[in-house]
A and B are shown apart, each in its own frame.
Chain A
């Protein structure tokens, strides 16, 4: 019979490889790629700053010159500039994720000064809402979530302090942190001079808030390599875990060079406190509650150990009998079976076995009878006898068991092991027994107002070391060690192994080196995509050799080079784009241009944007007057319909995200997200038609308008349009609204007479509340021109 058992190592390999690679060993084959050829790939060549095309471009900035050049090559022209109302809506959503107010629109439309737009952009970039909007974009790349991935036995599932990373990101955007510094901090904040401000340690959440993969280090490292290489370098280095990359110039040894860096880094024993609660008494109360729970854990753990020793002591006879029986025990498995069958502790059985072989045991007054009277001739009675006397000895009220009791405490006898050893043997039982208390500790950390904020930090191990290559990804099949160093394709000839600590700081410096051909290209492409609907390179996290040179490679290079020249200023990069005419053009496509370029890949019009999930929910809160502008802090429950904070502050569970996130295309946080999907499905409509959240916003909006506009129907409708769309209502819209209110009033009368088809379990909405809700469902609400 052949059973063909599958070794666990093979499983590991299979997840990452293409079939053909299974027959070969990574280190033994020629690379699938040619390094010299790869070096000429458009994304890997050194970044130069292309000349700005000299074309008859009219007004506009450098970005427009590149865009116009390609449009003209195809005989196309860009759209005219959009109207000022559309422009302020567009740029306000783009930079803050929120709509402008009616007053802001009015004053911008009225401002005819030449720098009106610039003033607007500066105001928006300086607003704190900017960081909340652009920080959220970055959190998609950082595969941010507030939980580990799945509950584990020891503690709960939450990353209680994940919000400190989220807030670090938001603050970084708001304070205009330069992008190279932003990266340095996220990879190696623990190794930078932070000027005494340890709050920045929270930056390391970029590496430490991924899926915890049941605490499997190699999986965590793979996730860290993935978020850094796809997120920052546009390279799929994880593909090289088991074999050289199939297409890109990433040999397996480069993967394990990075592996060594992260294997030489670890979570600190205790996450560092970066902010204490404002109220000392709160903090004291928190500490007291924690201490109380810890004490309960300790007491229960000691109790479990006592119970274990008690039980094992009362079967002393079984031990002795078992050893007598077990003279044939040979293999480890048999030993397990044996100790399992007899329900005796494995480790204690070992101690008994060792002990009974000693001279001391055979002559010991307590055990003498066993060897002389029972072991050979009357074993069953002996087992019972010894179980009895050891059990009785444990009952302190019984007298006459002094010698047995002495045996239990004599040094070297089997039943007085070190309690700390016992704690290790029965770790699982202790954990199971203390589970509910340790979960309570997480609840305290999660909910107590006195919980200090901690950074999900990372630290170097004491003795950093290089990793060997895992042949075919198998940690049991080790190859040569490789030095901790950067990727060959991005290093040129002067590659040097990292010598300081784990090498994380060296890695961060190599990524932010102005000569790195990918860092700036990848980031400016993301920014373009987040803003312009489509990125220049349509695979934002994969710039590898299978990604063809984009049509606008010169624009990409020019933006990237200018970005570096600006000192990696993200706000300067924003301005390069939003000040272009390309950005300011109208979103109504010209039919001829659409025929020639239906995908708008050359940007002959500005693509209308559907609000993403955060912008949609935040806008609903904003127009209803409910939006709470408080920034930062602990995660909010998005399922609570009365939660009024911006959506970026919501708790996001990696494994069980609230359904609404998925309904509205929020990306999965299992890995760095290249971009968001945009789907239109009935579940989205159901949320907007029926959820308690939307009902609440509709009621507040109606109430707000009623207070502002009074009873006059037309002035109310006008106020609705100003509040929701920042414009005046048209004749048609007025008429439709009046008609609707009339119909509903008539309906209410007839409804009073007969029972509706479906039970309105809660108070029905008024006609105006239903009207308010309808505006919130409209396409004009959901799309930005």
Chain B
């Protein structure tokens, strides 16, 4: 797909943006990978300078679309004809999930094969279906428990209950960021926080600069998106004069024979902040996109935030998380058919647009796009219990035993389906992939040995995957 007229200019713009970030060199006080990563003391001079990972990386940045609440695999990416045959009858097998469940609940959605790979995808994701040849689908995911909070934390931080750094924090700690004029790790969630709140992008014991910057994408006004990004009293031109005075005064101060690396770093930080005001405003302003691009993504909040994610990735943000919304939108214990359909109507087209857009810009090859939730849903119907789900029997319970996720770009094997659930789609049975395995694989794609990206804290070396995780090499191209 080489027809896009702007392709070359996009590339050069990106390079330009990357170079802007290099002015921060004054802060890299011997932050050599290996020495720092294997156990910086509490007085670490940690910075966001770009750093090299353990080995050459396939992916340089991540866009992680988090379908929080738990999308149903048997209605999206894991067709189970047998389940529909058993519809309404108790299954010969059952597994314990969070709530009480009943008989088989066949999917109300139609599946059909897509692309050269012929992977079957449900009508809910007909647009994403068109991209299946670029997608590496894992149908054999499993996680530990069928509850939101621990599963979200396990996914994001590798640990279900205790305060541990999130994957985005680990990656910005390990890699720095490509553009110093923007935060390196951005978590977007419209209308409020997901379950487990900002713990999902916490830095825990890593320095505070590695925490995800939360953006409530319900706002369209950039000033509400990023704290202190604009000055209501002073225009850019006057601020420029002010910063020139500051530079001069700081110069007098330094020239009094009291030099210190930190003085220069701090002078630089004001210059970067000045540029960040404009850069960030620009990055979040999708009205700067040409009309045909906006049309590709479509209308609505999901379209807007997914398009912002592309603009951020393009500008070198290391890890961009796009959450569906406040609390747990995909948690359809009731009315699954109606609600899943609505959610997919909002996100299917923009997700597909993202993949196509990245591809035509040449960005897909080193941008890893991840889609999925904290777990899946049961192939059996959830029964109604007093005090819950309003007496409806048309939804699915949480399911940690088996679910689907997919990745695209960033060195994964497109058009490939990994693993399988049982014949009803309840549990992963073939080539099972645990969350820790997925994390190990993602770190691998980003150039890290997950056992060696560590941080010494409280007497031991911590890592994202705790004591677990195996890289799933089949997923890698």
Chain A residues close to B by CB (< 8 Å): 1-6, 8, 11, 14-15, 17-19, 22, 150, 211, 213, 219, 226, 230, 236, 238-239, 246-248, 308, 333, 336-337, 340-341, 343, 345, 426, 428-429, 432, 534, 538-542, 544, 546, 587-588, 608, 610, 655-656, 659-660, 662-663, 665-666, 668, 670-671, 673-687, 689-691, 695, 730, 732-733, 736-737, 740, 743-744, 747, 756-758, 760-765, 770-771, 773-775, 777-780, 782-783, 785
Contacts and interface: CB of A to CB of B under 8 A. Distances in A.
7 contacts: A230-B458, A340-B384, A668-B204, A679-B209, A685-B266, A733-B249, A756-B235
Nearest to B400: A6
B207 A677 contact: yes
Q: B44, B385, B401: which has the most chain A beta carbons within 10 Å?
A: B385
B191 interface: no
B208 A663 contact: yes
A11 B458 contact: no
B38 interface: no
Contact of B163 (A14, A211, A736, A774): A211
Contacts of B277: 686, 690
Question: Ordered nearest first, which 9 A-B pairs have the shortest CB separation?
Answer: A236-B459, A685-B273, A670-B163, A675-B42, A756-B235, A682-B273, A662-B208, A19-B467, A682-B272
Contact of A695 (B27, B233, B242, B270): B233
Nearest to B48: A681
Contact of B197 (A656, A665, A668, A737): A656
Contact of B209 (A429, A681, A687): A681
B233 A671 contact: no
A660 B48 CA distance: 18
Contacts of A691: 227-228
A710 B204 CA distance: 50
B387 interface: yes
Contacts of A760: 232-235
Interface stretch (B11-19, B118-126, B250-258): B250-258
A4 B236 contact: no
Interface in B22-62: 27, 41-48
Given A736-B249, A763-B233, A682 B276 contact: yes
Contact of A6 (B144, B228, B242, B252): B144
A610 B41 contact: no
Contact of B460 (A239, A656, A660, A679): A239
Interface residues of B, number: 94
A721 to B, nearest CB: 11
Given A14-B467, A675-B42, A685-B273, A758 B230 contact: yes
A433 to B, nearest CB: 10
Contacts of A683: 183, 209, 227-228, 273
Interface in B381-435: 383-387, 391, 401, 422, 427, 429, 432
Interface in B456-477: 458-460, 466-468
A765 B245 CA distance: 16
A677 B208 contact: yes
Contacts of A771: 245
Contact of A610 (B96, B262, B383): B262
Given A11-B160, A18-B467, A587-B258, A248 B459 contact: yes
A131 B285 CA distance: 48
Contact of A777 (B183, B270, B276): B270
A432 B387 contact: yes
A747 B205 contact: no
Contacts of B203: 662, 668
B227 A539 contact: no
B233 A337 contact: no
Contacts of A544: 459
B245 A736 contact: yes
B388 to A, nearest CB: 9
Q: B27, B102, B163, B386: which has the most chain A beta carbons within 10 Å?
A: B386
B233 A680 contact: no
A507 to B, nearest CB: 20
B439 to A, nearest CB: 13
A671 B165 CA distance: 13
A703 to B, nearest CB: 15
A19 B384 CA distance: 42
A337 B383 contact: yes
Contact of A690 (B45, B144, B231, B238): B231
B367 interface: no
Given A4-B432, A783-B262, A588 B241 contact: no
A237 to B, nearest CB: 9
B426 to A, nearest CB: 8
Contacts of B266: 680, 685, 779, 782
Interface string B132-156: 0000000000101100001000000
A666 B207 CA distance: 9
B228 A686 contact: yes
Contacts of A308: 386
B10 interface: no
Interface in B76-109: 93, 95-96, 100-102
B326 to A, nearest CB: 14
B102 A341 contact: yes
Q: A11, A247, A695: which has the most chain B beta carbons within 10 Å?
A: A11
A538 B245 contact: no
B13 to A, nearest CB: 21
A17 B467 contact: yes
Nearest to A758: B235
Given A671-B163, A770-B238, 13 more contacts: A239-B459, A544-B459, A656-B197, A663-B208, A675-B42, A676-B42, A679-B208, A682-B270, A685-B273, A733-B252, A743-B241, A760-B232, A774-B249
A686 B27 contact: no
B184 to A, nearest CB: 10
Nearest to A773: B242
Given A15-B159, A236-B458, A677-B44, A682 B180 contact: yes
A675 B387 contact: no
A785 B163 CA distance: 37
A337 B181 CA distance: 56
A686 B276 contact: yes
Contacts of B100: 336-337, 340
B196 to A, nearest CB: 8
A730 B253 CA distance: 11
A682 B20 CA distance: 13
Given A17-B467, A340-B385, A730-B252, A774 B459 contact: no
A428 B383 CA distance: 18
B43 A689 contact: no
A22 B467 contact: yes
Nearest to B26: A680
Interface in B366-386: 383-386
B162 interface: yes
B269 interface: yes
Contacts of A15: 159-162, 466
B263 interface: yes
A763 B464 CA distance: 48
Contacts of A668: 163, 202-205, 208
B384 A655 contact: no
Given A211-B163, A679-B209, A686-B229, A757 B273 contact: no
B235 A1 contact: no
A162 B404 CA distance: 45
